[in-house]
Structure 1
Amino acid sequence: MPLPFLTADRAFDTVDDVALPHDDRDRWRRPYRPGPWRVGTAALLLLLASFVLFAAVIIAATATLASAGTVFGIALAVVAAALRLLRMGVWVSARGLRQVAFFTTRTTPWEQVGAVRTVQQPVRWLGLPRTVQGQALVLARRGRGAETPPPLLTSHNADFLGRDQLAFDRAADSVEVWAAEYGRGGAA
């Protein structure tokens, strides 16, 4: 069974001379692969879910179906959390830029994107309160005064911590190229 949220466009990793290597510009895509911290955490959650599902089967055989249903529901919640964790990140398409967080999804149409740029600043380490010096890909919206949305990507989030700096640079460059093409009224 293919899991499209786990794969990024392989062309982003291999093609150097094509700015936007894709076939269908209207399809939402993540221009980078999920990082080792994100995939490892999701794998541990799925492992935990398998044990909880096994417990639900044992409870169904030995106790009431209501209690087995409750444990089965908990297992489904853990699986849903693991899948949502894998889906988190920045997604792009011809319609705009989408930032998927665990509980929220924020979509910004390209008409509202003023600039997407990489800046050197203190960033959160794995999303925790601790900050370290790193790079962040930030979005500046048109017509928005003092409102500054959170960074789209950082060099120390779950997708890029433990990977070489080139992976973050490639992902940031890909998002910047999408913004340059579509943010200035490019082909839609």
Structure 2
Amino acid sequence: MPLPFLTADRAFGAADGSDDVALPFDDHDQWRRPYRPGPWRVGTAALLLLLASFVLLAAMIIAFADALPGAAVCLLIGVMVIATALRLLRMGTWVSRNGVRRVAFFSTTTLSWDRASALRTVQQPVRWLGLPRTVQGQALVVVHPNDEPLLLLTDHDADFLSRPEAFERATDTVEAWGDEYRRG
């Protein structure tokens, strides 16, 4: 069974050991995350799915006890926890030939490459794991005219906390996509 999320790092660490492939995917029209989800994001989603399994087991036990309204409530809570875990795994920066997309928990922002004037890594206060607390860190932003910059990646989010090499690879890959499609 193919696992497409495992091919995100194919550009860095090909079978022959070369790092010369900037855009490793065959279909550039499909939206792709150019990096693997980080351990904080995957671990949180795994814990949520574990919690959902217990809630769904409770719904089954309640249903066997003939308390169907309570079972329906537990089933609804379990489905909501599963949807939350899936949305958490979906969050991040996605790229395609059409542009760059920033997927947040409640919103998605898409910016076409022709509207982006620059992609740059800047030092600025960033949110730590998406919480209100800010720390000094690096962020990859897309600058587009007549609007404030769109924040794509930070080195303190759930994908890159304590993984500076992965942050550098991800920013290089997103910048390579931007360089390729902002020109052409």
TM-score of the two chains, using structure 1 as the length reference: 0.90
If asked which structure has higher relative contact order (CA below 8 Å, sep 6+), I would say 1
Alignment of 1:72 onto 2:71: no
The 3-state SS of whatever aligns with 1:29 is coil
Residues 13-162 of structure 1 correspond to what in structure 2 (within 5 A)? Answer: 13-15=12-14, 16-141=19-144, 143-145=145-147, 147-149=148-150, 151-162=151-162
Tell me, yes or no, if the aligned pair for 2:11 and 2:20 is still in contact at 8 Å. Answer: no
The 3-state SS of whatever aligns with 1:48 is helix
The match for 1:174 is 173
Tell me, yes or no, if the aligned pair for 1:36 and 1:162 is still in contact at 8 Å. Answer: no
Q: Distance in 1 between matches of 2:168 and 2:7?
A: 15
Superposition deviation, residue 10 in structure 1:
3.4
Q: What's the % identity of the aligned pairs?
A: 63
Q: Distance in 1 between matches of 2:79 and 2:101?
A: 26
Superposition deviation, residue 109 in structure 1:
1.0
Q: Distance in 1 between matches of 2:121 and 2:2?
A: 32
The 3-state SS of whatever aligns with 1:13 is coil
Q: Distance in 2 between matches of 1:66 and 1:13?
A: 52
Q: Distance in 2 between matches of 1:124 and 1:116?
A: 20
Moved over 6 A (4+): none
Amino acid at match of 2:171: A
Superposition deviation, residue 121 in structure 1:
1.4
Amino acid at match of 2:89: L
Amino acid at match of 1:171: A
Amino acid at match of 2:26: D
The 3 A distance-change label for structure 1 pair 8 and 80 is farther
Q: Distance in 2 between matches of 1:57 and 1:72?
A: 8
Unaligned runs of 5+ in 1: none
Superposition deviation, residue 182 in structure 1:
0.6
TM-score of the two chains, using structure 2 as the length reference: 0.92
Q: Distance in 2 between matches of 1:65 and 1:132?
A: 48
Across the aligned residues of Structure 1 and Structure 2, the Cα RMSD in angstroms comes to 1.5
Deviates more, 1:117-126 or 1:82-91: 117-126
Q: Distance in 2 between matches of 1:8 and 1:63?
A: 47
The 3-state SS of whatever aligns with 2:137 is strand
Unaligned runs of 5+ in 2: none
